[in-house]
Every structure is written in structure tokens, then in C-alpha cells.
Chains A and B, each alone.
Chain A
Amino acid sequence: MTDYWQNFWTALTLNGGYNSVVVMAGLAALGAAAGPIGALMILKRRPLLADAVAHATLPGVAIGFLIGLWLTGDGRNSAFLLTGAALTGALAAGAMHLLKDGARISEDAATAAALSVSFGLGVALLSLIQALPTGGQAGLNAFLLGQAATLNQSEAWVLAVASSMALVLLALLFKEFALIAFDPGGAAAQGLPVKFLDLMITGLMLLLIAAGLRAVGLVLILALLVTPAAAARFWTDRLPRLAALAATIGAAGAYTGGAVSTALPNAPTGAAIVLILSAIFLFSLLFAPKRGAIAAVLRRQGLRHALRRRQILVELAAGARPADPKLARSLGWIDGNGSSTPEGEAAAQAWLRDEQLRDRYLADRPEDAGRLLAAAFTPLNDLLPRDVIAELERREA
């Protein structure tokens, strides 16, 4: 066990040797670029495109293996494998773009068709390859689930350079990418080359998928594209921050996942990354301050409590017995016999006055109705300046 920790720590702190450093840096860049690209795909409502493209790389890997075997006698040449993956991925992406513009079938159906056809083809080719009387097939499994620890030097450099390139392009064009995601019509009216930019986003996504294929695996690279953005959405309402946060989460997840899989040599990198990202997603879902689930529950309970309190004040002000004596007693507004205490009387009177001043204020400024209602449980004294309240009181008297 201590060995594993040792290895994990060595990789995490970039002490694992030259190759490991390049792989770790590459993974971080991959995650940092994948996060914002995924955010754009989600905002364009096309996250499934990433799914289809990732799966469509499988037949390319298989074909690359066969061509490499045929030309060089060894199928494990990563140049052939990655080129094949990029080509069939691009083919699927191109088909999806054409379908989106021209065809009468829905995009979901097109995606499902592209995904199952290409993945099926890939699996069929793989089983064919397994039956061949040659070595090296085992290495192909890395393309499914990823094996960052076993990247050779050139593979590590492809990962690092391609991911960094994508990251730079993304940063340079992010303003325009955001505009075409939000309002393609408006963007075209401004003269932006919408189709070109759209293809560029898809192209960057394909580049990342191909670059990360060997290290993260084609099934799990999807998680790297989609999960950071989904998690980041809980924390912010603004795209620049969303993109930055998704990049950070993606980079952290990929980097740590890479270290984990180095420590446990048989652990697929993709799986480690997915587990880490899912933990971050779950944490965000639960604990994000404004949009998180716990915050939402607390907010709703706070509102319910305030409403029940207010109901008691209404009843006390009308001289009636509260229908919720338990809460009224715990607030100290009624005594054991159910009759109101001096505190209860005072609270009811204060509430009544607040209510009357509110009505008076709204009679003059109906346009503030929404804002006043949003602060229904904040005492008016805290909402309006003293002189405005004094004026309202003077007129009320």
C-alpha cells in the first residue's frame, strides 16, 4: 500500500521521470481544453455529437492497426492508429454536420445511428484483429479505457502538443465561439463566419479526442468533455467563469487521474479520471451555494418557515388564535394557555405597520411591486431609506 502512495505522490509531484512529466503535463492540458469545449457543446445543445465522434474513432483505430500491420509488420504504430482514429472521427463529425443542415431526421436519431454504426463496425474489426495470428493486439485495449502510464515518448508528445494547441486556439477564439453558441443568427448578421467557427469547435473537439484516445480511452474521454462543464454550471451564471472553472476541473481531474493510474499500473486511466470527475460533479451538485441541491432545500425550508411565521402574525394581528400553536409558542408569541404574550402583540403590531407602509409605498410606485415582493420577509426598515419611511409614516398617520 505504501508503495502505491509513493508512486502516486511521485507522479503527482512530477518526479516520475521525463516521460511521466510529459504525460502528466499533456493530461493537464487535455483536461483544461476539454472542459471549455465540452461547455460549448452543452450550450449548443449538441453534447451527443462528442459521443458519436468519440465512438467513431474505434473503427479508425482498427483500420490503422491493419494498415500498420500490412505496411510495417507491426500494428502498434501510433501514427497509423491515431491518423485512422482522427479520420473516421472526422467522417462521423462531417456526416453529422451535413445531417443537421439537410436531412429530415432528428439530430438525436442521426447521432444514435452514427454512434451505433461506427462503434459496431469498430468492435467487429477488433474481433477480426484478435483472431489474426500476430502479436500486439493487447495494446488495443488501451484505446478503449486508456493507459496513460504506458505511453511511449512520441505518444506523450502528441498528447501534450495537440492539447496545448487546442487550448491556445480555444482561448483566442472563445469570444466568437460563445457568440455563435448563444445566437448564431445574430452572429451571422454581424458577419461572423458561423459555419466555419462551428466546424472549428467540432474540429478542436476531434483533435482532443484523438490526442487523448491512447491515454484516456475513447469511451471515457466523453466524461472529460462533459462532466467538468456540467459540474462548473452549478457554481456560476457567467460563461467566462464557467469556461475557466471547467478548464480547472478538467485539468485537475485528468492530472490526478493520471497520477492514480501510474500508481496502480493496471488501473485504466480513463476510469480513474471519471471517478475523480464524478466526485467533483457530485460535490458541486450537493454543495454549490446558489444552485446546489442542499442550498435549494435550505432555501425552500427557510421560505416555508417565514411563511408560517407570517401566518401567525396575521392571526395575532386579527386577535385570533394561531392555527400553529407549537411554532407560536416556540417563538414566545403565545403563552401556555394560547393567549398572546406582550412580545406577540408587539410583533403583530410591527408586522401590521410594515404591511400598511408597503401598501402605501406601492400605491405610488407600482413598478417596484416585483422587487418589494422578492423581499417580502425583510423588514421595510432594512429596505428603504429612513427619510422615505418617515414620509410614508407621515402620510399614513
Chain B
Amino acid sequence: MSPDIRAVANAEAVHDAIEAGSPLDVSGLTVAYDRAPALWNVDYVAPKGGLVAIVGPNGAGKSTFLKGALGLTPKISGRVAAFGAPVADARRRIAYVPQRESVDWEFPATALDVTAMGLYRSIGWLRPVRKKHRDAALAALAELGMADFADRQIGQLSGGQQQRVFLARALVQDADLYLMDEPFAGVDAATERTIVSLLRRIASAGKTAIVVHHDLQTVTEYFDHALMINVRRIAAGPMADVMTAENLQKAYGGRLAAPQLAAAIG
């Protein structure tokens, strides 16, 4: 395809998606940091409602995809729309859960304080956090089984508990699209179950969650759709169509052991 035709095709795809109001519509997204591109010309249209896993090896650009889609890293090219509007106009409908390592957990704040931060935009400028906001934050914490820890300084929580606080902060935003960067990283089985049931509730409310997920053993069980990337987009669509031996070979090369492959393909 020549660049011109590509551009036209892209424009049409964007147009269709805006008509349809897909929760997230990314076309031709290219992001580079210092030297080489971390993400090259990725197109993706997320389904309306459902759970999407982003899979790919370390350094594939999964986090970069989320950040680029949200406009947190400057993109070289590409267009992003959310719910048929530019992302900047749809921020209130999007909740983002960054990788846990991205913040300073020594920060002087309690689990409740951090959860309430999810409400800052709806509280608005120049207005203080009130009791009803704290109540909403507490309810979100309770939903993740963290009510007992509401007054703990966040540095005194375990990794899994910190992850739950981040999820509570996203939950309290009451968004329609959730973007989560490795919420399952380093959590125990109980926390993993909590997160999975949270995701199921999001999906059954007709909302969408796009989640970076590393564990190919569980990805088919937890999610219905997948976006597989390794700098470029390898495949996207319903789980079964994406998780083929051929695609996995393209994304991971020879690095996957046979049992992992078997589990992923199912």
C-alpha cells in the first residue's frame, strides 16, 4: 500500500470508528523515545464492552501503547480517538492504572487519600475533598477488600495491597474505559482473584478494560480479546484468533517454552 492509500484507509477507519464511538480507536500510532521507535504504526480499534489483554514480550511497547493512547508521551504520528472524540475531550470517561513502580510509595498519603485522587477531576478546581468524596473512596477500597487499610500510609502496604489501592482509585472514577498497566504483576492468588472479579464486573456493566497482561497461561481464561504487539502490531481481535502458534512465534520468537505455548493456544 502506498502511503497515500494508507492514509486514506486510516482516515476511513477513523471515520467509521467515530461513527461507532469505539471506546478507543488508535490509528498509525508511532512513538519513539531516544533513538529507535518503541511503537511503530499501530492501529487498534477496541470493542465496545469487554476485556482486552495487551500481550507481547518485555520492551514490546505495551506500556508505551497505553501512554501514547492517553497522550502521556508525545507521539511522532498517529491519531487517537476515544468514544468518538479526541482523547482530551473524553478524559472523564477514561481511568488509567499506571505500573506500580511509577510512583513514590513513601509519599505522605494514606490509601484513602490516594483513592480519593481519582475524584479530583470531578471535584473540580479550587474545591476541597469533602466527606461524600471520602465515602466514595472508602466504598471503592471496600470493594477491593481494602477497607481495613484505608488509613495506612501507602508505603506500609504490601505490593498486592498497593496494586488494589491503584485499582480502587480507577474504580472510584466510574469510567467507561479502563486502561491498566500490569495490574497482576507480583500479586498473590487471592489478589489476582479480586482483580479478576473486578474486571468481570467492569465487563458485565458494558464497559471496556484494556489490560497489559504478561501471563500467557491465564490470558485466555481472563480476557475475551487480545492485542498482540512487538513494536508493531502482530494481531488483534477475539482471543482465539490472536493466540495462534504463528502469531506467538512472531511476537516472542523462539523464546516461549512448549508448555506456555500449549497453554496460550489452549
Chain A residues at the B interface, C-beta cutoff of 8 Å: 43, 45, 172-173, 175-176, 178-179, 181-183, 185-186, 188-192, 233, 236-239, 242, 367
Q: How far is the CB of B84 from chain A (nearest CB, A)?
A: 17
Contact between B108 and A233, CB atoms less than 8 A apart: yes
Q: Which 4 A-B pairs have the closest CB atoms?
A: A191-B91, A189-B96, A237-B153, A190-B121
Q: Which of B94, B95, B102, B108 contacts A183 (CB 8 A)?
A: B102
Binding site of A, secondary structure by majority: helix, strand, loop or mixed? helix
Contact between B107 and A189, CB atoms less than 8 A apart: no
Which B residues from 117 to 139 make CB contacts under 8 A with A? 117-118, 120-121, 123, 125-129
Contact between A188 and B117, CB atoms less than 8 A apart: no
Contact between B153 and A189, CB atoms less than 8 A apart: no
On whether A176 and B120 interact (CB within 8 A), knowing A183-B102, A189-B70, A242-B108, the answer reads yes
B7 at the interface (CB under 8 A from A): no
Contact between B72 and A188, CB atoms less than 8 A apart: yes
Contact between B108 and A237, CB atoms less than 8 A apart: yes
B104 at the interface (CB under 8 A from A): yes
Contact between B125 and A176, CB atoms less than 8 A apart: yes
Contact between A237 and B110, CB atoms less than 8 A apart: yes
Q: How far is the CB of A287 from chain B (nearest CB, A)?
A: 19
Contact between B117 and A239, CB atoms less than 8 A apart: no
Chain B residues closer than 8 Å to A179, beta-carbon distance: 117, 120
Q: Chain A: which residue is nearest B152 at the CB level?
A: A237
Contact between A186 and B96, CB atoms less than 8 A apart: yes
Q: How far is the CB of A238 from chain B (nearest CB, A)?
A: 6
B88 at the interface (CB under 8 A from A): yes
Q: Which of B67, B71, B91, B129 contacts A175 (CB 8 A)?
A: B129
A191–B70 alpha-carbon span in the complex (Å) = 9
Chain B residues closer than 8 Å to A236, beta-carbon distance: 108
Q: List 20 A-B contacts (CB under 8 A).
A: A43-B104, A175-B120, A175-B127, A176-B120, A179-B117, A182-B107, A182-B117, A185-B102, A186-B117, A186-B169, A188-B70, A188-B72, A189-B72, A190-B121, A190-B173, A191-B91, A233-B108, A236-B108, A237-B110, A237-B153
Q: How far is the CB of B151 from chain A (nearest CB, A)?
A: 9
Contact between A182 and B121, CB atoms less than 8 A apart: no
B43 at the interface (CB under 8 A from A): no
Q: Which of A183, A188, A233, A367 contacts B71 (CB 8 A)?
A: A188
Q: Chain A: which residue is nearest B126 at the CB level?
A: A172
Chain B residues closer than 8 Å to A238, beta-carbon distance: 108-110, 113, 153
Q: How far is the CB of A230 from chain B (nearest CB, A)?
A: 12
Chain B residues closer than 8 Å to A186, beta-carbon distance: 96, 98, 103, 117, 169
Contact between B110 and A183, CB atoms less than 8 A apart: no
A186–B172 alpha-carbon span in the complex (Å) = 14
Chain A residues closer than 8 Å to B153, beta-carbon distance: 237-238
Contact between B67 and A182, CB atoms less than 8 A apart: no
Contact between B72 and A182, CB atoms less than 8 A apart: no
Q: Chain B: which residue is nearest A183 at the CB level?
A: B103
Q: Chain A: which residue is nearest B91 at the CB level?
A: A191
A285–B128 alpha-carbon span in the complex (Å) = 31
Q: How far is the CB of B161 from chain A (nearest CB, A)?
A: 10
A175–B169 alpha-carbon span in the complex (Å) = 15
A351–B190 alpha-carbon span in the complex (Å) = 32
Chain A residues closer than 8 Å to B95, beta-carbon distance: 189
Q: How far is the CB of A153 from chain B (nearest CB, A)?
A: 33
Q: Chain B: which residue is nearest A174 at the CB level?
A: B128
Contact between A185 and B108, CB atoms less than 8 A apart: no
A285–B194 alpha-carbon span in the complex (Å) = 41
A192–B70 alpha-carbon span in the complex (Å) = 12
Contact between A239 and B102, CB atoms less than 8 A apart: no
Q: How far is the CB of B20 from chain A (nearest CB, A)?
A: 23
Contact between B104 and A45, CB atoms less than 8 A apart: yes
Chain B residues closer than 8 Å to A181, beta-carbon distance: 107
Contact between A239 and B107, CB atoms less than 8 A apart: yes
Q: How far is the CB of B199 from chain A (nearest CB, A)?
A: 19
- Extra inter-chain contacts (9) besides given A182-B107, A185-B72, A190-B91, CB under 8 Å: A172-B126, A179-B117, A182-B104, A183-B102, A185-B96, A186-B96, A186-B117, A191-B88, A191-B91
B114 at the interface (CB under 8 A from A): yes
Q: Which of B71, B88, B108 contacts A239 (CB 8 A)?
A: B108
A183–B113 alpha-carbon span in the complex (Å) = 13
Q: Chain A: which residue is nearest B121 at the CB level?
A: A190
A191–B169 alpha-carbon span in the complex (Å) = 15
Chain B residues closer than 8 Å to A175, beta-carbon distance: 120, 123, 127-129
Contact between B70 and A182, CB atoms less than 8 A apart: no
Q: Which of A172, A183, A237, A239 contacts B98 (CB 8 A)?
A: A183
Q: Chain B: which residue is nearest A241 at the CB level?
A: B108
Q: Chain B: which residue is nearest A237 at the CB level?
A: B153
Q: Which of B98, B110, B121 contacts A192 (CB 8 A)?
A: B121
Best-surrounded residue of B91, B173, B179 (most CB of chain A within 10 A):
B91
Chain A residues closer than 8 Å to B71, beta-carbon distance: 188
Contact between B67 and A185, CB atoms less than 8 A apart: yes
Contact between A185 and B121, CB atoms less than 8 A apart: no
Contact between B91 and A183, CB atoms less than 8 A apart: no
Chain A residues closer than 8 Å to B173, beta-carbon distance: 190
Chain A residues closer than 8 Å to B104, beta-carbon distance: 43, 45, 182
Q: Chain A: which residue is nearest B102 at the CB level?
A: A185
Contact between A190 and B120, CB atoms less than 8 A apart: yes
A175–B118 alpha-carbon span in the complex (Å) = 12
Q: Chain B: which residue is nearest A240 at the CB level?
A: B113
Contact between B113 and A239, CB atoms less than 8 A apart: yes
Best-surrounded residue of A43, A191, A236, A367 (most CB of chain B within 10 A):
A191
